[in-house]
Amino acid sequence: MRVTINKIKEMKQKGEKITILTAYDYTTAKIVDEVGVPLILVGDSLGMVVLGYESTIPVTMEEMLHHTRAVVRGAKQAMVIGDMPFMTYHLSVADALRNAGRFIQEAGAQAVKLEGGVTVADKVKRIVECGIPVMGHIGLTPQSIHQFGGFKVQGKTPEAAIRLLEDARALEEAGAFSVVLETVPAPLATLITQKIGIPTIGIGAGAGCDGQVQVINDILGSFTDFVPKHAKRYAKLTDIIQTAVSDYYNEVTAGSFPTDKQSFSMDESILAELK
Ligand code: KIV
């Protein structure tokens, strides 16, 4: 049976850690799902690690829907969360609801994620009221990168820390089933985790959160433009891919690929007639 928001909330109550990974395609989603990871986020990080944009800001609804559909086809058990792109939930509650609905109806996701706290609480409330689970996302929200002036740790001053706690509370009150805390000091993330009833999912927020999320390309070592401090590399996929690609290239160039093993034969008499 597919993972539900009730199961995720229950995990917090039982003190079970929640694992989330991003995925952007069918093949990867299938692997992540088969391992048993309960939540798959089709993050708008897609823009950077798959599409080669400089930030997540240019990502469109159509791009997100396209990749979310692929992930949904690969994930049989995990809950699939579609990340709402920049400016698809900011203009009005109606706009936010319409776009959230597209992730569910057109792409088959089970939930959506959006960035912001107090300022988007009205949108979260309406989306949840209409039956769509919402994951919040506060702290270093990449869609506001220009406002922050770079990838900086958030919540370090007393005022900023209080604002983050208020944001987390506003999301809980609006009905979000969980909230991502990105790049905030670990002690603050722990405090927020203790003060709210919904699961906190950390990325660069320390071990005190109820769960952790990572961009899959970071943990696989397949995106090397930069490696965020919060990421741990569990593999060096770039090296493996480079070796395989250069072996293939060398063999084709040398004429040693393909061999009979990769080729198909035919009836000799038919061939003789053609000759
Ligand atoms: O887009 C994304 O992958 C995200 C996670 C890093 C939380 O928002």
* Residue 251 designated active-site: no
Q: Enter the pTM of the model.
A: 0.96
Q: Does residue 252 register a pLDDT over 90?
A: yes
Residues for the chain: how many in total?
Answer: 275
Closest Cα to atom 4 of ligand 1: 43
HEC per residue, 98-129:
HHHHHHHHCCCCCEEECCECHHHHHHHHHHHH
Q: What is the pLDDT of residues 256-266, one digit of tens each?
A: 999 999 999 99
Q: Ligand 1 centroid vs 141 CA: distance in angstroms?
A: 9
Q: Ligand 1 atom 8: the closest Cα is on which residue?
A: 43
Distance spanning both ends of the chain, measured CA to CA: 60
- List, for residues 205-240, the tens digit of each pLDDT value: 999 999 999 999 999 999 989 889 999 999 999 999
CA distance 79 to 75: 8
* Residues 24 and 67: beta-carbon distance below 8 Å: yes
DSSP state of 274: H
User: Whole-angstrom Cα distance, residue 135 to residue 179?
Assistant: 5
**150: phi then psi, degrees, rounded to nearest 5:** 130, 180
pLDDT on residue 148: 92
